[in-house]
Structure 1
Amino acid sequence: MLPELSPRAQKLVEVLTKFVNEDCVPNEERFAREFGQGAQRWQAIPPILEELKIKARSLGLWNLFIPKEYPESPGLTNYEYAHLCEIMDTGNMEVLIKYGNAAQKKKWLVPLMEGKIRSAFAMTEPAVPSSNATNISCSLKKVQGGYIVDGKKWWISGAGGPRCKVFIVMVRSGKSNEELMRDPNNIGLQQIHKQHSVVIVPADTPGVTVVRPLTVFGYDDADHGGHCEVVFDNVFIPTENMVLGEGRGFEIIQGRLGPGRLHHAMRALGQAERALDTMVGRAISREIQGIPLSSRGVVLEWIAKSRIEIESARLLVLSAAHAVDTKGASKSKAEIAMAKVAVPAITLGVIDRAIQLHGAMGVGQDTPLAGMYAGVRTLRIADGPDEVHLEQLGRNEVKKYKARHASKL
């Protein structure tokens, strides 16, 4: 049984919904206009964005995603935040909030929370299958006074924006997998999750180069900094830029990725809702031979199926969020994985129906549907492909069956 939403959270949902519907959505065209064209888009900070940030803060709609166990938090549970996240975007500060020391927080977290700068999390690499993070090869070498970072990353979201001032980078600080496998006593493989670290690299450090933006089905997503290829070439960072400690990279990314996967699912729900709203609007307004599409049985079926699927997906997300609140993220991996896999797939189905109903208009730039589809499709790959999570879920079901029937086997 899921708990009732607190009065405070209910009020926040009302305020946020009003803000998005009355201030954000109506200003989307102005944002696009102020954002500009061509190369200008990679340097633009649209005035409307700054105006909306000021209003959002005045309404108390600021940094709501930070878990309640941290002093920087506004005090919401994951379950409460789940109701809000599908209406808005979320932050990228979890690593510093959870694992940063006082000096790191003062230097980087404070301006991040104030919205003065942005950060980018650099993990994925082109040369290795990064869905298994033990393959990460961007190297960290200890030198006098600090470390040298060398390697190439890609699909680094936000790296191309003018306000991206800091990278949080996953690096290999220990032995390679090959070295561990050559250990004659096989002891090395037991240490495979202690060979990586997470470090802070200021974006203006010599040797850091944003090589190019990568496109998702042709979309460069420059409005939030794109998804870039980044090279770290003999980059020096001081010792104090190590997060938590050498060899603790896996501990950090596991602490970040669990809630991050759930936030992805929450936001996907919001896009599913908007796609359904767009679909219904089209069905009511579009007529064929004087008959509105909303009177057609197949269209009504699409609308009904979409509503059923969205409500089912929402229950998965809320259940996972509640599990994190009550059991902790480490003991809620199954719930998070189910939401991570199911919600993007359901959302893609809803968006696809909306596109179909719009015809040629649905794949163009006059609706948000094509861009939404491109973005949500990436979620089936981001933070671990669906297949990885499905394999683990299946393995757990087999394990539970064997445990139940141990005496009969």
Structure 2
Amino acid sequence: MSEPPRFDRGHTDDLMSFLAASPTPYHAVANAAERLEKAGFRQVAETDAWDGTAGGKYVLRGGAIIAWYVPEGAEAHTPFRIVGAHTDSPTLRVKPRPDSGAHGWRQVAVEIYGGPLLNSWLDRDLGLAGRLSLRDGTTCLVDVDRPLLRVPQLAIHLDRAVNSDGLKLDKQRHMQPVWGLGEDVRDGDLIAFLEETAGLPDGSVTGWDLMVHPVEPPAFLGRDRELVAGPRMDNLLSVHAGTAALAAVAGHGSGLSYIPVLAAFDHEENGSQSDTGADGPLLGSVLERSVHARGGSLEDRARALAGTVCLSSDTGHAVHPNYAERHDPTHHPRVDGGPLLKVNVNNRYATDGSGRAVFAAACEKAGVPFQTFVSNNAMPCGTTIGPITAARHGIRTVDIGVAILSMHSVRELCGAKDPYLLANALTAFLEG
């Protein structure tokens, strides 16, 4: 194994900035694109004809970004090395008629997105962010990054058994945040407020994709600041690491034998079935068009995909000190122990023995230790974009990630070194 990389706290500092600046998938892909632009990548439109010139390129579609780097001399059948991730996180999303309220409280009607730990959203200072669709056909991003909303918990005096019987939350009745006072609730108030906030003319917003987010910034935690607490680590931690890895590889891209790719999808938390999800056509379309732009045929495409490997990078479960019995007794991943190799024989993860060898080689090249995660047989695991990618495109896929605690909470917890170790492993993988 190579010498382990010396920990660079600057990478983790940059991750924290990325998390804070990316309250929604739309903001996350905009921030990833900005980093790639600085690394020399250029955006290409899906509606334009593509050329096969060397260099870095990316496409944006909603909350998804696909970016790739074509090295000099790449052939039409040159295979890809893909880092897959997702941009969405469990949250509360604003309903089509957002203005509601009762008993003198003004509220915002929200719908539960994905599988959040609902109790973690209670009594938090919350902002509001997302994408506004305008009358002229354009869109703009908005972020009210200040305390604006709150989901107030019921006082213990009115729920005396809460600590003994457990907190029971009804998703419809108990999760609607308050944002002001007033008896006169008028349709259009929230959108009018956002138009004013974004400096838009009255009545210019005709559609919206808005979600609630905590405004407390990420922070180092612990005696020696060896932990990081923050929102949306699942899975912006992987998006950030993949972006950094792709930019690094593009910076010294001569001699690459693969075409490195970052594929960050939306809607993983609710099944990936959308035009911007991993179960949609976006990745396949980009890879096929890249082959054809270099003069390739259907045969070249088949050859390229046959040699392609994808690392599906998503967060995984670190052993919990208070609930160690919930984990497999022989697999106890620890924070700052290096990235996880995630295995499930029922294909909830896509890893097999040959995929393990690919990841082990990348970690060895980077000098990065790695751990293995498998779930307790009595507690079936979740799944990722990995099996979807493998099945939809016939691509060998390996599931990996960083070990965290409090997954799907408003604030998740990881080791300060693990994001840097992951980025180094992804860089080595993309280099081939």
Whether the TM-score (by the shorter chain) exceeds 0.5 is: no
Higher share of residues assigned strand? 2
Compute the TM-score of the two structures, normalised by the length of structure 1: 0.25
Which structure has more relative contact order (CA 8 Å, sep 6+)? It is: 2
Higher share of residues assigned helix? 1
Compute the TM-score of the two structures, normalised by the length of structure 2: 0.24
